Structure 1
Amino acid sequence: MSEENAPPGNLGSGSQNLISVPAIEPLTRGNYKRLPAIELLIREIIVLESTGLIARARQRNKTSPEFLPPEVLVYFFRRAHRLGDKSVRDSLLSELANRCAQHLQGKMAGFSPALQDDMRQEVINKVIEDLLNPDDRSDFAQVCFWRYFKYKYLDVCDRHNKDRNVESLDAGWDSNREEQSETKLYKLPDHRLSPEQYVFLKNALESLPSDLRKLFFLAHYLKIQVESKDPNEITLSKHFGVTGRTIRTRLGKAKEYLTRYLEDV
Structure 2
Amino acid sequence: MTNTEADGALYARPSAVEAQIDEAIGLSRSDLQTRLSITDRSDPAYLRSECLVHLVREGRRTDDQQLMSAVLPVLLGRCEANLLVKVSDGGMPDAANVRQEILENLTDLFVSDGTGEFPNELDFYECRFNMAFRALRIDAVRREARRRKRSIAVVDLPPSDAPGGPDAYEDAFARVSENFRVLPTQEWDVFREPFMKAIEALPAEEREAVILVHVLGYKEESEDPDEETAATRCNCTGRTIRNRLSRAAAKLSCFKEDL
* 1:125 Cα offset (Å): 1.1
Tell me, yes or no, if the aligned pair for 1:32 and 1:140 is still in contact at 8 Å: yes
Measure, in 2, the Cα distance between the counterparts of 1:137 and 1:83: 19
Task: Provide the residue aligned with 1:66 in structure 2.
Answer: 45
Task: Provide the residue aligned with 2:128 in structure 1.
Answer: 144
Measure, in 2, the Cα distance between the counterparts of 1:83 and 1:98: 23
Task: Provide the residue aligned with 2:92 in structure 1.
Answer: 111
Measure, in 1, the Cα distance between the counterparts of 2:105 and 2:49: 16
Among 102, 105, 110, the residue aligned to 1:126: 105
Specify the structure having the higher radius of gyration (Cα).
2
Task: Provide the residue aligned with 2:144 in structure 1.
Answer: 160
Distance 1:47 1:147, change over 3 A: same
1:99 partnered with 2:83: no
Distance 1:195 1:80, change over 3 A: farther
Task: Provide the residue aligned with 1:3 in structure 2.
Answer: none
Measure, in 1, the Cα distance between the counterparts of 2:257 and 2:64: 55
Among 37, 43, 55, the residue aligned to 2:16: 37
Deviating above 3 A after TM superposition, structure 1's stretches of 4 or more consecutive aligned residues are 26-30, 168-172, 194-199
Tell me, yes or no, if the aligned pair for 1:27 and 1:33 is still in contact at 8 Å: no
* 1:28 Cα offset (Å): 4.2
Task: Provide the residue aligned with 1:9 in structure 2.
Answer: none
Task: Provide the residue aligned with 2:250 in structure 1.
Answer: none
* 1:106 Cα offset (Å): 2.8
Counterpart code for 1:110: G
Measure, in 1, the Cα distance between the counterparts of 2:257 and 2:47: 46
Counterpart code for 1:104: L
Tell me, yes or no, if the aligned pair for 1:32 and 1:139 is still in contact at 8 Å: yes
Task: Provide the residue aligned with 1:174 in structure 2.
Answer: 196
Counterpart code for 2:127: V
Tell me, yes or no, if the aligned pair for 1:27 and 1:139 is still in contact at 8 Å: yes
1:105-129 CA distance string (max 9 Å, x none): 23224323xx211111110111111
Report which of the two has the higher share of helix. 2
Q: Which fold has the larger relative contact order, with Cα–Cα distance below 8 Å and residues 6 or more apart in sequence?
A: 2
**Structure 1 unaligned blocks of 5 or more:** 1-25, 178-193, 200-265
Measure, in 1, the Cα distance between the counterparts of 2:2 and 2:120: 7
- SS of the aligned residue for 1:33 comes to coil
Counterpart code for 1:174: M
Measure, in 1, the Cα distance between the counterparts of 2:147 and 2:21: 42
* 1:85 Cα offset (Å): 1.3
Equivalenced residues, count = 157
Distance 1:88 1:197, change over 3 A: farther
1:198-253 CA distance string (max 9 Å, x none): 74xxxxxxxxxxxxxxxxxxxxxxxxxxxxxxxxxxxxxxxxxxxxxxxxxxxxxx
Measure, in 2, the Cα distance between the counterparts of 1:71 and 1:85: 19
- SS of the aligned residue for 2:44 comes to coil
TM-score (normalizing by structure 1): 0.53
Tell me, yes or no, if the aligned pair for 1:77 and 1:89 is still in contact at 8 Å: yes
- SS of the aligned residue for 1:174 comes to helix
**Structure 2 unaligned blocks of 5 or more:** 150-178, 201-253
Counterpart code for 1:94: P
